[in-house]
Amino acid sequence: MSVWDYAEWLPAVASEHRLSLGEGRTPVLRSKRIGLEAGIGNLHFKLEAANPTGSYKDRFAAVAVSLMLANGKTKCIATSSGNSGAALAAYSAAAELACEIAIVETAPAGKLLQMLAYGARLKRIRGFGLDPEITRRACELLESRGEQPDSALQITAYRFCPLAMQGVQTISYELAEFAVANGVPFKHLFVPAGGGGLALAIARGFADWRERVTPELPSPAVHVVQPRGNDTIASSLRNGDSLACAVECLTSISGLQVPSVIDGNELIRASRESGGTGHIVDDESVWQIQSRLAKEEGIFCEPAAAVSVCGALNAVQRGDIDRDAPIACIITGSAFKDLASVERMVQGRDCPTVDFASF
């Protein structure tokens, strides 16, 4: 089980350089309560938290680090708010490569601990991920460091790493296989977006699948969901604009704090061509859905993952999409990544110590 099950669709890497920690083949679950309570009969969740380091970024890291091994690189240079850093740190450790990561200012402690545990060297940059100019300059600096002969820059975006991003497209291949095997032709896919790379990968992955395998499979509309405080793509997409726009990031949703235009312009085109549009959600609504996913579905996900579900529910409530249409939401990562959000979910509850007689 790995992304290399689709090796013929991924960048050419000799088998001896293909690295895997067992990423991919993640479950697709049908909603038991949230969908039914909203009148949605065919709501599904793609559980990317089941990957080895707890997020979809493992698909990227498997291809990225394999390419480094094939090209004789020994140092991984990266930037992260958490998930990609953890994935690259883990795969670099497995490949015996050095890993240096520039961290956005607001990255959760749980994600930093995971990266440190894998042996990565971290530096948090003040204003990175919040201020678009600082974010742009940081990326330029990292690009220059990644150009050193022994190094490779790894950022989960087509703008920086188009080959490694093909690993993320395997999410679409798995969803397409699920749709064919279970007779559930997904009509709508809801995807959280920061820089836009994940949603763009899913749109391109489905287009690739239909061209290569089953042209008769309906092409799902890929919907882009963003927090209101980081609306670089969603409103432009919904309003018919062709370009994304840089913003001052005001959201507290970790992982989606990307104020710069990275893959946004390409995503707007791809989403629109698929029949999708943009959706904006509030942080408070995201936290509520995160809590509901845990209590009502048994899905323990980070806030960024709940963004997709929040967008789908809002779209149905507004009448944007048919309630009976098969829908899939990408659950990007585990709640263990963001311990502050877990504390928010369980606020007011505790685990008392009692005597055996009163248990």
Class of domain 57-162: alpha beta
The model's pLDDT over 57-80, given as tens digits with 9 standing for 90+, comes to: 999 999 999 999 999 999 999 988
Contacting residues for 353 by C-beta, under 8 A, at least 6 apart: none
- C-alpha to C-alpha distance for 219 and 187, rounded to whole angstroms: 7
Query: Which pLDDT belongs to residue 50?
Result: 97
- C-alpha to C-alpha distance for 233 and 325, rounded to whole angstroms: 25
Distance separating the N- and C-terminal Cα atoms of the chain: 44
Look at the domain 3-55+165-344 and name its fold. Answer: Rossmann fold (3.40.50)
Helices within 147-263 (DSSP H only): 170-182, 197-212, 234-238
Q: Which helix (H) or strand (E) element contains residue 46? A: strand 43-47
Query: Which pLDDT belongs to residue 181?
Result: 95
DSSP 262: S
Neighbours of 302 (CB within 10 A): 30
- In tens digits, what is the pLDDT along the chain, a chain of 359 residues? 899 999 999 999 999 999 999 999 999 999 999 999 999 999 999 999 999 999 999 999 999 999 999 999 999 999 887 799 999 999 999 999 999 999 888 887 778 899 999 999 999 989 887 887 887 888 888 888 999 999 999 999 999 999 999 999 999 999 999 999 999 999 999 999 999 999 999 999 999 999 999 888 888 999 999 999 999 999 999 999 999 999 988 999 988 988 889 999 999 999 999 999 999 999 999 999 999 999 999 999 999 999 999 999 999 999 999 999 999 999 999 998 888 888 899 898 888 899 988 78
* 93-48-334-227 Cα dihedral, nearest 10 degrees: 120
Domain ranges of the chain: 3-55+165-344, 57-162
The model's pLDDT over 83-108, given as tens digits with 9 standing for 90+, comes to: 999 999 999 999 999 999 998 888 87
133: its two tokens? 């100019």
Say which residue the tokens 């948090």 belong to: 124
Say which residue the tokens 């707890």 belong to: 54
